[in-house]
């Protein structure tokens, strides 16, 4: 069997990643994986300029000595080395990852067009990633795991190889490396997966790690095929010419509404993603509801700065502030009060019958004014803007046991006839009814997760003041 060095070189040549590259940036932590990657690259491509990039996260005492050690080894190996020290100690895995990739890209840009960044992710990392995402309930794209090429400039050449292969190569060739003591700390999610959960899973299900890595490839194929099918469906429901412009998508709402809910959800998620929009599960459910039920002139804001607007039979998906054509700002219906996902203060709700209801909006875990009726709305679970308006015939509320008419709820709540006609209701941007002050509690507030951003809407009626 060919050694790792031969198989590694063959894999890289077949990939074509280094064609025309003026140099390669290798993320080097000093651990087994990255030091073996640096050693393999020196042997496989001796004429290619290599540049090691090390980040001192300042997460523990002695991290500066690791940085000095990496720089010393690189000097002995005649490899250029740059070290970046974090301005403040890094406190999370995500923060450290973002810091590393920013620095790697900075070094890469200094090498000129076509330079690439290499990271030392292995097949073991792939298995850990897929298991972690499966435990979090990720969909097919999440289960695709780590991709061999993150974007045109970041590649993972060790992804087909297992850590035990790297260990054998390092032992055979005397590759030096240092073990970060924090890698043994199972308080970190990755470490616990690697040291406790995956070994236990392998005992229970032999070959589990290989199966997880294979699942990543299968999921990637499925995700790629699904994107092609969804893009074709998006083009099929496009409204007019120029619908696939970089800044906006214009879709035929009637054609969208003809889709089943699962297909509509996937089409809208894909359409939003093409413009940089972010839609989790709750946002996707709200988005489907918005497409089917929202009146013309309304809009909903997604993560990533993407806005979805309904204009009669057209659904416009655009980047916020970059509309493909002039768009009138959505206006609330008559006698309605809009509550945006920022700001706060006091206003007056005047439903049109001569009566007025003071309204206060605040942000935080609790309200301070002490109005009789308070709704605490977790911002992560509903699309903004919220709308406080008078109820309308046909309004219904989703109850635990099914949908119920507002009219019946007002009667059951013994709301006097003279107050029922213009009684206020609170809805989200999709038109879903959230709250009847003094009649039903907010339907979203069964439990507000710790740390959630909360919008407090307070209402007082004239007869209560």
Do 455 and 384 share a structural domain?
yes
Show Cβ contacts of residue 312 under 8 Å, excluding neighbours closer than 6 positions.
Answer: 253, 296
Q: What is the mean pLDDT of the chain?
A: 85
- Can you give the pLDDT at residue 353? 53
Q: Which residue has the higher pLDDT, 446 or 126?
A: 126
Do 243 and 347 share a structural domain?
no
Q: pLDDT band at 148, cuts 50/70/90?
A: very high
Residue with tokens 């204009």: 311
Count CB atoms within 10 A of the CB of residue 250.
22
- Which segment, 130-144, 341-355, 356-370, is predicted with the most confidence on average? 130-144
Q: How far apart are CA 292 and CA 58, in angstroms?
A: 51
Q: Does residue 364 fall inside a structural domain?
A: yes
Do 95 and 9 share a structural domain?
yes
Q: Does residue 226 fall inside a structural domain?
A: no
Q: pLDDT band at 329, cuts 50/70/90?
A: very low
DSSP state letter for 195: I
Do 459 and 348 share a structural domain?
yes
Q: Does residue 329 fall inside a structural domain?
A: no
Q: Could you tell me the maximum CA-CA distance found in the chain, to the nearest angstrom? A: 89
Q: How far apart are CA 54 and CA 68, in angstroms?
A: 10
The fraction of the chain above a pLDDT of 70, given in percent, is: 85
pLDDT, tens digit, for every residue of 47-91?
999 999 999 999 888 899 999 999 999 999 999 999 999 999 988
Q: Does residue 213 fall inside a structural domain?
A: yes
Do 162 and 45 share a structural domain?
yes
Do 275 and 243 share a structural domain?
yes
Q: Does residue 179 fall inside a structural domain?
A: yes
Q: What angle do CA 136, 142, 144 make, to 5 degrees?
A: 135
> Which of 217, 248, 280 marks a domain boundary?
217
Q: pLDDT band at 328, cuts 50/70/90?
A: very low
Do 165 and 108 share a structural domain?
yes
Token pair in block for residue 285:
């459910």
- Can you give the pLDDT at residue 450? 65
Do 404 and 271 share a structural domain?
no
Q: Does residue 223 fall inside a structural domain?
A: no
The enclosing domain of 313 has a CATH number of 3.30.465.60
- Can you give the pLDDT at residue 58? 92
Do 203 and 146 share a structural domain?
yes
User: 165-169, 383-387, 446-450: which has the minimum mean pLDDT?
Assistant: 446-450
The enclosing domain of 174 has a CATH number of 3.40.50.620
Q: How far apart are CA 93 and CA 262, in angstroms?
A: 34
Q: How many domains would you assign to the chain?
A: 3
What is the C-alpha end-to-end distance of the chain, expressed in Å? 86
Count CB atoms within 10 A of the CB of residue 35.
24
pLDDT, tens digit, for every residue of 206-258?
999 999 999 999 999 999 999 999 999 999 998 754 444 467 899 999 999 99
- Can you give the pLDDT at residue 355? 61
Q: How far apart are CA 437 and CA 373, in angstroms?
A: 6
Q: State which residues form the domain around 241.
A: 237-319
Helices 4-15 & 163-173, crossing angle to 10 degrees? Answer: 120
User: 138-152, 338-352, 409-423: which has the minimum mean pLDDT?
Assistant: 338-352
- Can you give the pLDDT at residue 333? 44
Q: pLDDT band at 352, cuts 50/70/90?
A: low
> Which of 158, 189, 217 marks a domain boundary?
217
Q: Does residue 309 fall inside a structural domain?
A: yes
Q: How far apart are CA 302 and CA 292, in angstroms?
A: 17
Q: Does residue 227 fall inside a structural domain?
A: no
Q: How far apart are CA 307 and CA 248, in angstroms?
A: 9
Beta-bridged to residue 105, according to DSSP, are: none
Query: What's the pTM value of the predicted model, to 2 decimals?
Result: 0.65
Do 348 and 242 share a structural domain?
no
In degrees and rounded to multiples of 5, residue 182 shows phi and psi of -70, -15
Do 148 and 9 share a structural domain?
yes
> Which of 319, 344, 374 marks a domain boundary?
319
- Can you give the pLDDT at residue 349? 67
């Amino acid at each position: 069997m060919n050694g790792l060095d031969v198989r590694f070189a063959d894999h890289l040549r077949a990939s074509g990643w280094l064609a025309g590259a003026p140099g390669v940036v290798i993320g080097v932590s000093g651990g087994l994986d990255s030091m073996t990657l640096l050693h393999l690259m020196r042997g496989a491509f001796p004429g290619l300029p290599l540049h090691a990039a090390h980040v001192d996260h300042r997460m523990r005492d002695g991290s500066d000595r690791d940085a000095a050690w990496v720089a010393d080894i690189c000097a002995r190996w005649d490899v250029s080395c740059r070290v970046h020290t974090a301005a403040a100690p890094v406190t999370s895995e995500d923060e450290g990852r973002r810091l590393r990739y920013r620095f790697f890209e900075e070094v890469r840009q200094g090498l000129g067009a076509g330079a690439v960044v290499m990271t030392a992710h292995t097949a073991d990392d792939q298995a850990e990633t897929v298991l972690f995402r499966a435990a979090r309930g990720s969909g097919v794209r999440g289960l695709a795991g780590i991709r061999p090429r993150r974007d045109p400039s970041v590649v993972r050449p060790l992804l087909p190889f297992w850590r035990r292969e790297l260990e054998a190569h390092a032992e055979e060739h005397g590759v030096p490396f240092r073990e970060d003591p924090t890698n043994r700390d199972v308080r970190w999610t990755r470490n616990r997966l690697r040291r406790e959960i995956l070994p236990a899973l392998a005992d229970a299900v032999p070959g589990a790690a290989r199966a997880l890595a294979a699942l990543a490839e299968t999921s990637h194929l499925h995700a790629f095929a699904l994107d092609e099918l969804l893009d074709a469906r998006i083009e099929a429901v496009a409204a007019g010419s120029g619908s696939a412009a970089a800044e906006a998508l214009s879709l035929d709402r009637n054609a969208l509404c003809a889709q089943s809910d699962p297909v509509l959800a996937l089409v809208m998620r894909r359409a939003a993603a093409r413009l940089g929009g972010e839609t989790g599960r709750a946002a996707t459910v709200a988005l489907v509801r918005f497409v089917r039920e929202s009146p013309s002139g309304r809009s909903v804001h997604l993560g990533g700065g993407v806005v979805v607007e309904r204009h009669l039979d057209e659904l416009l998906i655009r980047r916020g502030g970059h509309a493909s054509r002039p768009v009138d700002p959505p206006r609330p219906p008559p006698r309605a009060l809009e509550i945006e996902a920022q700001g706060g203060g006091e206003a007056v709700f005047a439903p049109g019958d001569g009566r007025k209801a003071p309204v206060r909006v605040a942000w935080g875990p609790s309200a301070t004014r002490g109005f009789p009726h308070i709704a605490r709305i977790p911002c992560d679970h509903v699309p903004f803007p919220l709308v406080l308006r008078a109820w309308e015939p046909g309004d219904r509320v989703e109850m635990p046991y099914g949908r119920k008419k507002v009219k019946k709820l007002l009667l059951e709540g013994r709301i006097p006839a003279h107050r029922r006609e213009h009684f206020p209701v609170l809805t989200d941007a999709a038109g879903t009814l959230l709250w009847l002050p003094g009649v039903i509690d907010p339907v979203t507030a069964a439990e507000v997760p710790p740390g959630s951003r909360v919008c407090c809407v307070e209402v007082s009626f004239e007869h209560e003041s």
